[in-house]
Chains A and B, each alone.
Chain A
Amino acid sequence: MFTLYKTWHPIASPFDPCKPIVEKTFSTPPNLYIGFQPPNLPQFSPQEALRAGTLWKAFYDPYYNPFEKAKGGIPR
């Protein structure tokens, strides 16, 4: 499944002083995948685009604080 976030698992030692973070997440935004923008991509309406920060739906990738899951954050 295509996702705009990837995860990896840092090595955790039983002697780590802090509670290990077993899974780390990083952003891989859409600009990494599309290459030269193809013609006729779907657009937001002008009003939506002004809020979203882009006219192009394919490039829209809003970021939410992952520590606030309730507000739409991607859990870590």
Chain B
Amino acid sequence: MWIYEKKLQYPVRVSTCNPTLAKYLVEQYGGADGELSAALRYLNQRYSIPDKVIGLLTDIGTEEFAHLEMIATMIYKLTKDATPEMMKAAGLGDHYAIHDNALYYENSSGVPWTASYIQAKGDPIADLYEDIAAEEKARATYQWIINLSDDPDLNDGLRFLREREIIHSQRFLEAVEILKDEQGKKKFF
């Protein structure tokens, strides 16, 4: 069960009317290493992972939905008032033809989200290594979007999200340490 808090994890502010940024941001919405992929990957893998690390996958998977909501808010703010002309100029003419200004789970090239972006191998080490790789890829994607963006307020939110990827990667690394630990040798806190 989940409990919903009707607020964002971190305030989202967008200071420039720049629908082109929405086109880049949608990579983190419905792209291979985006927040939807992350949430669904972890919340699915947790059923077949040793019980010591189920809670971690639940926590991080849940937080990824909070990130998804922040990304959605950014995209929404950047496109809600965009005219068809502005959408076209931002490279979102084909998006507009299908969706008007609605959000959709696709990557920045307009390719719809697919479950083949995520994996569940049933092998705990394989799954956790995929998760670590996914976090590092999401971290890199945030860097490239920050490089493309000249909106300081938007970048502030993206910087927060990138920092969370670093923490998630750290926790998955620790999960590997827990699972590979020889019985009783390590102390936990």
Residues of A within 8 A of B (CB): 27, 29-31, 34-37, 39, 50-54, 59-68, 71
Contacts and interface: CB of A to CB of B under 8 A. Distances in A.
Nearest to B177: A36
Contacts, number: 65
Contact of B167 (A53, A64, A68): A53
Contact of A39 (B140, B169, B189): B189
Contacts of A71: 152
Contact of A67 (B147, B167, B186): B147
Main secondary structure of the interface of B (DSSP, over half): helix
Contact of B173 (A27, A31, A50, A63): A31
11 contacts: A27-B139, A30-B170, A31-B166, A37-B174, A39-B189, A53-B159, A53-B167, A63-B159, A64-B146, A65-B147, A66-B147
Contact of B163 (A39, A60, A67): A60
Given A27-B139, A29-B139, A53-B160, A59 B166 contact: yes
B150 interface: yes
Interface residues of B, number: 26
Interface string B65-83: 0000000000000000000
A67 B145 CA distance: 12
Interface string B142-163: 1100110110100100011111
B13 interface: no
A29 B186 CA distance: 25
